[in-house]
């Protein structure tokens, strides 16, 4: 899913899901090093857990931040049921 951010230096967030687990995250624009760090930290995490940790973070005097916008994007994915079906387990 490509999410258009609002109120941040980054302009887009590309998110790939595997069911309710975050497979990959990539930001366009913003503070490259910090956003790569955030992306790597949330990869492999359940979307609900990432939302709980990131929602409400502010950047300076802005009412939002790149991590907060990632939480908003993840909420949108979960609400729309856009997470891909989990990969079948090998038995």
pLDDT tens readout for residues 36-75: 999 999 999 999 999 999 999 999 999 999 999 999 999 9
> Rounded to an integer, what is the distance from CA 27 to the centroid of its chain?
9
All structural domains of the chain with their residue ranges: 2-80
Question: According to the model, what pLDDT value does residue 32 have?
Answer: 94
Q: Is pLDDT above 70 for 87? A: no
pLDDT digits (tens, 9 = 90+) for 25-36: 999 999 999 999
pTM: 0.88
CB burial class (10 A; 0-12, 13-18, 19+) of residue 20?
Answer: middle
The reported pLDDT for the residue numbered 20 is: 95
SS3 of 43, please? coil
């Amino acid at each position: 899913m490509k999410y258009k951010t609002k109120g941040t230096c980054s302009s887009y967030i590309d998110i790939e899901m595997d069911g309710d687990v975050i497979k990959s995250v990539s930001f366009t624009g913003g503070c490259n090093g910090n956003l790569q760090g955030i992306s790597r930290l949330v990869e492999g995490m359940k979307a609900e857990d990432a939302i709980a940790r990131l929602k409400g973070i502010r950047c300076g005097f802005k009412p939002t931040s790149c991590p907060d916008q990632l939480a908003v994007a993840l909420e949108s994915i979960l609400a729309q049921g856009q997470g891909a079906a989990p990969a079948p387990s090998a038995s």
